[in-house]
Amino acid sequence: MLWNKLTNDNQILGFEPAKLTKRLVAGASCILLLSILASLLLGPVSIRPDRILFEILDRIPGISIDSGLSQVEAAIIWDVRLPRIVLGLIVGGLLAIAGASYQGVFRNPLADPYLLGVAAGAGLGATVAIVSGATNGEGMFDALPIAAFLGSAVAVGITLAVGGAVARSTSTASLLLAGVAVASLFTAIQTYIQQRESATLRQVYSWILGRLSTSGWDEVIMILPYAAVSVFVMIGMRGTLDVLAVGEEEALSLGIRPERVRWLVIAAASLAAASAVAVSGLIAFVGIIVPHAVRLVVGASNRIVVPLSLIIGASFLVLTDLLARTLQSPAELPIGVVTAFFGAPFFLFVLRRSDGII
Amino acid sequence: MELSKETKISDGLDIDSITVELGDKKVINSVSISVEAGEWLSIIGPNGSGKSSFLRAIAGLVESQGSIRFQGEELKSLTPQMRAQIISIVPQIPIIPPRVRVLDYVLLGRTPYLGRGYQPTKEDVNLAASVISDLDLGKVANRFVTEMSGGERQRVIIARALVQQPKLLLLDEPTTALDLGHQQEVLELVDLQRKNLGLTVLSAFHDLTLASQYGTSMALFVNGDIARSGNPTEIITEESLKEIYGANVLIHKEGAAINVLPKRQ
């Protein structure tokens, strides 16, 4: 064997290793763009699609077209539909990339972003806020998302503190078990409060089922910093997750510090999930089906799956939200119901076609 | 990129009284041994005698007391990344991730050389590709590792270890899962690399015949300590195997080669 008989091109094997190619990103971005466009053009209030397109073009610097939209119609586009679409993009992307990262770091295909107590903690926080009447405020100072965020931070914090203290070994099992226990505890408290204050039962339920209704751009602005930080970390760690796939001990022998990777990724993914939950309630299923659907198409490499999950997750949630607000318009379906109702059969279909290679 | 000939001139591995504790049990008890650069040390001993723990301690995968120096450098003071550029270890039961192709799996061996994003460069890919074709895996390089036969899989794992460009290769019972033909194939392959690249090899063995045929020297572990070390012919005797393994064997010598034959009484 000669290390130095290296050529400039990989002519020996004739194919390339797993890599996020421009083609994949372009393909996913097309799906994203189409989802955004569809969501912008369709809605309970019917506005002529060509006029919406003109209205958007008009806002691009250097182009000036009269869209012919009334002020109310323009406001519907810019202050109702668009912020909601952007929020959907962020929440869907966060949940999917967090799911992909959790599955990578736990080496478990069933790991989802709510795993370590994010959902139960947020549920308790939100319930407390609703019951205590702190949610009547408008805009930035609405206490509900803050309470939900704090709830999930506390729950995940307890899980990591307890599970992490045990899991000095290479096992992540104690972390998962701690997560299960913490989630049960928080759910129990949440249920107790919810049952005692039955007047707000409906409001609590509607939060739990998830929704993307917004009051302008406030929610977007609120979670943007957390979204940016957590996505930055998860995208940065995606290559390391591929090394971690051979287990923590082998990863260490390859020069990685597995514990550091584990904590960083878990912290970032939990932050992402908690921010998403804070503004949207519990939207089921996105964190599981999107990464798996991506995996079935492009293979198991986290280098590819993690960033593509972000894009596809964003598209998926925007599209399901479109269904949620148009199917029974003017009434709205809870988005969590729609993601599961359409997501589950789709996933079963993909799973069946994949011959079970998950 | 190159494992130059100069690297093998200096001294080899010097282990000075290392102790490994798992829980409150000492699994390695103050072991000292030296291995010359470019030599092959076969490590034998009954189950639970500390063979694996010894290798894992050298690779820095378990904590140990004492000193482990390679070419004069204390390995324990290195970062995992620096250590991984010197040592590669083939574990007894490697974890094979699902749906990972041979090329991508072998490229994991380049991890200690990659920058922050852990994206292999063209040079890394070319190196992996040349090792893959040298190990006769070119035709299967596009297949999933999980779908391969035991012999092919073991070659893939050794390819990953070689792509790491180690100076010290640690093998933990590398042939346990293989049939006889594949056992010889894998060991010949390692021996060829040892001779070509000046690798220092430490390998734990279950099979005493193979251990003595491939090792240039040998260490017999008993209860976390080296009971005997030296030339295989001095260690593999009917008496010592009776005493330590509780086994009845017939030793058949053919020139320098030793064959250990189980004997039924």
Q: Which tens digits make up the pLDDT trace of B3-56?
A: 444 444 347 999 999 999 988 889 999 999 999 999 999 999 998 899 999 999
HSE-up of residue B72 (Cα within 13 Å, Cβ side): 5
Measuring CA to CA, which residue among A288, A305, A285 is closest to residue A234?
A305
Calculate mean pLDDT across residues A113-130.
Answer: 88
- For residue B22, the chain A residue with the least C-alpha distance is A169
C-alpha A118/C-alpha A290 separation (Å) is 19
Task: Output the average pLDDT for chain A.
Answer: 84
Backbone dihedral region for residue B220 (phi beyond 0: left; psi -120 to 50: alpha; all else: beta): beta
* CB spacing of A239 vs B193 below 8 angstroms: no
Output the furthest CA–CA distance in chain B (Å, rounded).
61
Burial A256-270 (b: 16+ CB within 10 A, else e): bbbeebbebbbebbb
B165 touches chain A (CB under 8 A): yes
Measuring CA to CA, which residue among A81, A96, A78 is closest to residue A31?
A96
B125 touches chain A (CB under 8 A): yes
Rg (CA), chain A: 22
Spatial contact of A35 and A89, defined as CB atoms under 8 Å apart = no
Q: What is the pLDDT of residues A143-201, one digit of tens each?
A: 788 888 899 889 988 988 888 766 554 467 788 888 899 999 999 999 999 888 888 88
Beta bridge partners of B221: B226
Closest Cβ opposite residue B80 in set A4, A255, A300: A255
The yes-or-no verdict on residue A277 having pLDDT over 70 is: yes
The yes-or-no verdict on residue A226 having pLDDT over 80 is: yes
pLDDT class of A230 with cuts at 50, 70, 90: very high
pLDDT at A355 (0 to 100): 57
A55 touches chain B (CB under 8 A): no
C-alpha B106/C-alpha B138 separation (Å) is 12
Note which residues in 85-124 of chain B have CB less than 8 A from chain A. Answer: 85, 87-89, 91, 94-101, 103-104, 107-109, 111-112, 114, 116-120, 122-123
Residues of chain B with Cβ-Cβ distance to A255 below 8 Å are 79-85, 111-112
Q: What is the pLDDT of residues B164-174, one digit of tens each?
A: 999 999 999 98
Calculate mean pLDDT across residues A118-128.
Answer: 90
Tell me: ipTM over 0.95. no
Residues of chain A with Cβ-Cβ distance to B89 below 8 Å are 253
Closest Cβ opposite residue B119 in set A10, A239, A250: A239
C-alpha B211/C-alpha B220 separation (Å) is 11
Which amino acid type is present at position B81? Q
Torsion (CA) B197, B199, B205, B208 in degrees, nearest 10: 70
The yes-or-no verdict on residue A142 having pLDDT over 80 is: no
pLDDT at B104 (0 to 100): 94
Q: What single DSSP character describes residue B147?
A: G
pLDDT at A170 (0 to 100): 44
pLDDT class of A69 with cuts at 50, 70, 90: confident
